[in-house]
Structures are given as C-alpha cells and as structure tokens.
Chains A and B, each alone.
Chain A
Amino acid sequence: AQSVTQLGSHVSVSEGALVLLRCNYSSSVPPYLFWYVQYPNQGLQLLLKYTSAATLVKGINGFEAEFKKSETSFHLTKPSAHMSDAAEYFCAVSDRGTGGFKTIFGAGTRLFVKA
C-alpha cells in the first residue's frame, strides 16, 4: 500500500535561508509524486510533479524537488526563502493499486519564514 510521510509538521527558517521540506513515500510500483502549496483558507495549488522523467524537478516560485528512488524520498527545496513562501506544503503520491490509480496526501508541513 502506498503512503506518504512528511517529516516535521512545522519548519521555521529565516528570510534568505535555505528551505528544505522532507517527504518520504512508499509505493510498490513506480510512483508519481507531487508537491502542493496551500495558503490560509485557500485550496491547494500544484507546485511541481515527478512523473518518471528527470529526477530533479523544477516548479513554480523557485522551488525544486529531487526524486531519490534509493531513499524513497522527494524532498522540496528552495535556495532562498521569501516571506511570501510562508504556507502549508503537502507532498502526495499517486500510483496504480488494486482499485486503479489513487492519490495519497501527506499530513502537511507548515513553513514559517522569519524576517
């Protein structure tokens, strides 16, 4: 069965510092992986996705993520945090199970950016 674990429910960084949000997954078949961002009282917006092409995926707002099969990880990074990056971030995995394709979301990591 597929699952997603986001390490750390809260992450705090200073403005200009590196952002690293961790995501580990389990899947019995090659997965599709996603990162979404959610601002307060808003829906989720797709940041980036991995679909078995390049292992380093670039998304919107300067974010990128690297698929590491050996580590079953898909961590999200941004070289320099901006105040506007403060939001909640969700990792999601999708693969074909017995009931067809299914998407599972992680519990989310809230990013705080300090001035």
Chain B
Amino acid sequence: DGGITQSPKYLFRKEGQNVTLSCEQNLNHDAMYWYRQDPGQGLRLIYYSQIVNDFQKGDIAEGYSVSREKKESFPLTVTSAQKNPTAFYLCASSVPGTATNYGYTFGSGTRLTVV
C-alpha cells in the first residue's frame, strides 16, 4: 500500500545536539511538507518542497533545515539553534497544486523530546 513512513516514532535529543527525522513516501507525490504540532496550537508549517532540489521556508523555519535530493525523501534536521524542539512532528505529501482541494496525506509522526 502507498503511504508515508516517518521514523523514528520516538526520538530523544540532548541539549545542543542536532537530530534528523526521516520521511519517506511511495505515493509518487511531488510536494512534501513538515509540520510541527504542539498541544492547543494546531499544526504549524516548518518547510515545504514542491519539487526535487527545491524547498521553501514555512512559518516557523528557524532552527530547522531540510533537503530534497530524492522525490521519495524529505528529511528534517532539528538543529541546536531550535530552542524549544520538544513537539510532535508530522510529514505530509500531496500532488502539487492539489493540497488545496484534495488535502494532504500524513505520516504517523515523530515525537521529539529534549532530555
């Protein structure tokens, strides 16, 4: 079955450490997205990519970085510059230009905790 796989499901980060969250999809979608979810705040867009080798900052990109070397993969790195990284991170994909009227397909998320 087609879908989006996020790994790991749980991740612990020490202060000052960079960590990378994986997102892989086999839906043949060109567009991929990273959202951060905090209790009571809904989803906030971190980065998105409409095509391979291109990506754009979302509303809360500071302290995060991404790459898009392959259509299937859109990893997110949470850097030490992100002062409050503890959150639930969701990866999503869509056919470009259709997220507006067809919605997103989401992965099952990665819960990141700073220890």
User: Chain A interface (Cβ within 8 Å of chain B)?
Assistant: 4, 9, 32, 34, 36, 41-46, 49, 51, 90, 92, 94-96, 101, 103, 105-108
Contacts and interface: CB of A to CB of B under 8 A. Distances in A.
A45 B104 CA distance: 8
Interface string B39-80: 011110100000000000000000000000000000000000
Residues of B contacting A: mostly: mixed
B104 A46 contact: yes
Given A32-B100, A51-B101, A45 B106 contact: yes
B102 A49 contact: yes
B85 interface: no
A34 B108 CA distance: 19
A92 to B, nearest CB: 8
Interface in B21-47: 40-43, 45
